[in-house]
Amino acid sequence: MLTWTDDAFVLSARPHGESSAVVQLLTRDQGRHAGLVKGGQGRRQRPVLQPGNRVAASWSARLADHLGNLTLELEAAHAAQWLDDPARLSALASAAAVSEGALPEREPHPACFEAFEALVAALGSEHWAEVYVQWELLLLRELGFGLDLTRCAVTGQKDRLAYVSPRSGRAVSLAAAEPYRERLLALPGFLLGEGAGGPEEVAQGLRLTGHFLERHLFHPRDRALPAARLRLTQRFVPGAAPGGPADPEAPAP
């Protein structure tokens, strides 16, 4: 019998059979890991299995490639904490859905667990939305698709960075971007430590990270960004269709 115990966040729970649920977790040491929770559709378990909740998880299976059984003990009901704040609850749901879709199964990524933990803690702060964008940047970097926002891709200069190439993921300065700025992604100042952000810059940041999440992590698996992520975006761009950013094949630095 194979077993492990670990700290974890619930990412999703889907019905299985008459009463059980298949639960996806983000664990500290086991990475994204699934298991069967018996009675997961019952009234006692449903509140535990909400996306974003912190749990103590125990997993067991006869063979390594089996789904295995999970026993979960609730440690923090983060989802219930934000029931009266739809925006923050939307961010929590988005982070869980993006983590489930982006992270490889059973591959340890302790930095992703710690970043998720920090994001959950930041939901209580004034600048939780800016932290969410930074969390997606960290996720991209941890999975090998980090953006280079340190210097201009054209001039090499470090000042007046204002855009990002949708092809290379490198920053472009205001002057160097002039001939094709409509084809570039806006680089919000708060990601450079310039200013506190705000709804408009958060919208820019979500568009920026969403483009690279789609390009590198979701489209290669023939998936779209999760619906929860699109709903979060719409909170910062009222009335806008959740479309993609600039064509990644358009001429750019």
pLDDT in the model for residue 199: 95
Please tell me whether residue 170 adopts helix, strand or coil conformation: strand
Cβ proximity of 52 and 9 under 8 Å: yes
Cβ proximity of 27 and 70 under 8 Å: no
Q: Give me the tens of pLDDT residue by residue for the chain, a chain 253 residues long.
A: 999 999 999 999 999 999 999 999 999 999 999 999 999 999 999 999 999 999 999 999 999 999 999 999 999 999 999 999 999 999 999 999 999 999 999 999 999 999 999 999 999 999 999 999 999 999 999 999 999 999 999 999 999 999 999 999 999 999 999 998 899 999 999 999 998 899 999 999 999 999 999 999 999 999 999 999 999 999 997 544 333 343 333 334 4
**CATH top-level class of 95-236:** mainly alpha
pLDDT in the model for residue 238: 52
Ramachandran angles phi, psi of 207, nearest 5°? -65, -40
Q: Which helix (H) or strand (E) holds 90?
A: helix 86-102
pLDDT in the model for residue 248: 32
Alpha-carbon distance 56 to 48, whole Å?
Answer: 11
Which pTM does this prediction carry?
0.92
Alpha-carbon distance 20 to 201, whole Å?
Answer: 42
- Comma-separated ranges of CATH 2.40.50.140 domains in the chain: 2-78
- Comma-separated ranges of CATH 1.20.1440.120 domains in the chain: 95-236
Tokens of 69: 């059984």
| 2-78 is a CATH 2.40.50.140 domain | yes
